[in-house]
Structure 1
Amino acid sequence: MEGLYVASVVPFDDAGHINDDAIRILVEKNLEEGAAGFFVAGSSGECFLLTPEERLHLYEIFSEYKNRCTLFAHVGSCGTDESIRYARAACEMGYERIAATPPIYFGYTSKEVAGYYDELAESVGHGIYYYNIPMNTKRSLDLCDPETRALFSSGSISGIKHTNLDLYEMERIRSINPVLKCFGGFENEMVAFMAMGCDGFIGSTFNFMLPHFKRIYEAFLCGRLEEARELQVRANNIMESLLGEGLFSSIKFALQEAGIEVGGMRKPFVPLDEAARVRVRSVITANLAS
């Protein structure tokens, strides 16, 4: 397995601009904790709430670490040309891996979606990571569809970020093309993902609780399955609370509590109210205790 990748948040300063210094502090912290790399400008990075210029700037800041870890650039957008622009820029900055959600909103056919990934792959000269997050894109995979099956076996797709609780689907995707890399994207099923043979994990809560998930990862790999399961339960106690209160706002609150000035979420997200802060703080304290 490759290890654990942080699906990084994007810090903002008081004026609402990207806070470069806070990014560097957070990246250094995560690297010290054992991060294998970073997934940049994904859902945790508020991808579709950033301007094109901000998104390119975010890639640029993280590219400073290209020689110290592996970087994924998420380039998904509503249109092929814009995604190609992001992908080419990220590759020129030294990103090894390009990931993209399928294009959203218009209800594209599977042939159109396949064409989107084919053009992206052709533009950078290698396969793209399919960012499978149907809870947000509202696009589920139909693995019986011939266009979809052809896409996953064509070389245009080199792997998948599987932010989906359906582990059977991850296994069936790999059955189409066994050389595909499969990264889990729902850390509340991390033990199960590893048992099903994922190549690594990309998690948003790794921003502030990577050491806990490293303990799960290491316990599983060393065969201490009961310990891994117990640690997973504690992680899930936290995840349940974060998801209930608002995942990304809760992650940013937890980072603020740890002394990292990441600011708030872009509207229409709203910050946690005081009661939610108390609940999140309490569950984190109870379950991250050594």
Structure 2
Amino acid sequence: MKRLYGITTAMVTPFTREGEVNLNQVGKLTDFLISKGVHCLYPLGTTGEMIRLSVAERKAVAETVVKQAGGRVTVFIHAGATTLQDTIELAKHAHTIGADGIGVVTPIFLGANDRELEEFFVTVANSVPDNFPVYLYNIPQCAANDLKADVAQRVADRCPNVVGIKYSYPDFLRTNEYLNINNGTFSVMQGSDRLLLAALAMGCDGVISGVSCVYPEPFVAVYEAYQQNRIEEARRLQRIAVRYCETLKSGSNMAYFKEALRLRGVDAGSMRAPQLDLLPGEADSLRLALAELNRETLYG
């Protein structure tokens, strides 16, 4: 079964100015990211405004990314949704269209105990073939539910296709617990862009990065330098990657991502309500900050 690794890009979802999903730009964004050397694609997650999309829209985006990628990179579709029924429908759809696997976020907003989390993930994993890989996705600061390592282990014990986890919280003690699942063979992808190099040093397979949707280059460079054991160079490049994270607000407001993509020649359109686009003054400040950063780093 395929696994995520390296720089796995969490993709934004392009919309038209009228608020419709722009599938043409989804395809162009896919090509842009592949051309910049990312290793895997991860559409329709938090960065992709998943909870603002209908099931039909999510299917259309998934189909577009898989078709446009054409096997050039690994594509895992995020299938987590607000209901179990929608999650299963999206999981089965991802398998049907030829995606390489899926990610599934914990149930969101309403609290779920450990037994409920375990049964939720087992049910979803069992809804697809046992050779179709599934990544758990834990982002407790947004989802309001935290997936403990022992619960993840129980899910993995019951479901051989649950091969890893995306952990989007900067807790290295918990990260280390995840790394010990299945006697150290569980795939762990860090979701905090700023921790890429440290996560690799711990044994994580890579990062699922939203900032790399806008500036893949420094993240790809960090990963390549680390793989080649050029540690000092990796540290230098990591500092550059962090500066892009800071400039783009590191995922706290995807409007910064979409405006920065526009500046790079990729029209990702607008945010979907109730989120709003940047104000003109905010967009101008971002443009100037990125121009200065790009001059220093030779990206852009």
Q: TM-score, normalised by structure 2?
A: 0.89
Question: How far apart in 2 are the matches of 1:229 and 1:68?
Answer: 29
Change (3 A) 1:75 1:109: same
SS at 2:80 equivalent: coil
* Corresponding letter in the other structure for 2:261: L
Counterpart for residue 175 of structure 1: 180
> Is 2:32 the counterpart of 1:26?
no
Preserved CA contact (<8 Å) 2:59 2:93: yes
Question: How far apart in 2 are the matches of 1:219 and 1:199?
Answer: 14
Query: Cα deviations across residues 144-200 of structure 1 (Å, max 9, x unaligned)?
Result: xx6454224333631101211112212211213222111121111111111111112
Preserved CA contact (<8 Å) 2:51 2:82: no
Query: Cα deviations across residues 235-267 of structure 1 (Å, max 9, x unaligned)?
Result: 212212322894311010001111221111111
Change (3 A) 1:213 1:37: same
Preserved CA contact (<8 Å) 1:110 1:148: no
Query: Cα deviations across residues 37-77 of structure 1 (Å, max 9, x unaligned)?
Result: 21011011110000111111111111202422211111111
Question: How far apart in 2 are the matches of 1:5 and 1:160?
Answer: 13
Change (3 A) 1:262 1:147: closer
SS at 1:276 equivalent: helix
Preserved CA contact (<8 Å) 2:5 2:40: no
Change (3 A) 1:66 1:201: farther
* Corresponding letter in the other structure for 2:257: I
Question: How far apart in 1 are the matches of 2:167 and 2:252?
Answer: 21
SS at 2:287 equivalent: helix
Q: Could you tell which deviates more after superposition, 14-23 or 83-92?
A: 14-23
Question: How far apart in 2 are the matches of 1:286 and 1:147?
Answer: 46
Identity over aligned pairs, percent? 27
Root-mean-square deviation (CA), in Å?
1.9
Counterpart for residue 201 of structure 1: 207
Counterpart for residue 5 of structure 1: 8
Q: How far apart are 1:134 and its partner, in Å? A: 1.4
Preserved CA contact (<8 Å) 2:106 2:117: yes
Preserved CA contact (<8 Å) 2:210 2:250: no
Question: How far apart in 1 are the matches of 2:239 and 2:115?
Answer: 41
Q: Which runs of 5+ in 2 are unaligned?
A: none
Counterpart for residue 162 of structure 1: 167
Change (3 A) 1:131 1:212: same
Question: How far apart in 1 are the matches of 2:15 and 2:286?
Answer: 21
SS at 1:60 equivalent: helix
Alignment of 1:60-139 (within 5 A): 60-64=63-67, 65-126=69-130, 127-139=133-145
Preserved CA contact (<8 Å) 2:5 2:206: yes
Change (3 A) 1:245 1:273: farther
> Is 2:276 the counterpart of 1:273?
no
Q: Which runs of 5+ in 1 are unaligned?
A: none
> Is 2:207 the counterpart of 1:185?
no
Preserved CA contact (<8 Å) 2:197 2:234: yes
* Corresponding letter in the other structure for 1:95: A
Question: How far apart in 1 are the matches of 2:84 and 2:251?
Answer: 34
Query: Cα deviations across residues 14-37 of structure 1 (Å, max 9, x unaligned)?
Result: 222111211111111111111222
Change (3 A) 1:170 1:152: farther
In the comparison of the two structures, how many residue pairs are matched?
Answer: 288
SS at 1:119 equivalent: helix
Preserved CA contact (<8 Å) 1:152 1:173: no
Preserved CA contact (<8 Å) 2:6 2:206: yes
Q: How far apart are 1:287 and its partner, in Å? A: 2.8
Preserved CA contact (<8 Å) 1:10 1:18: yes
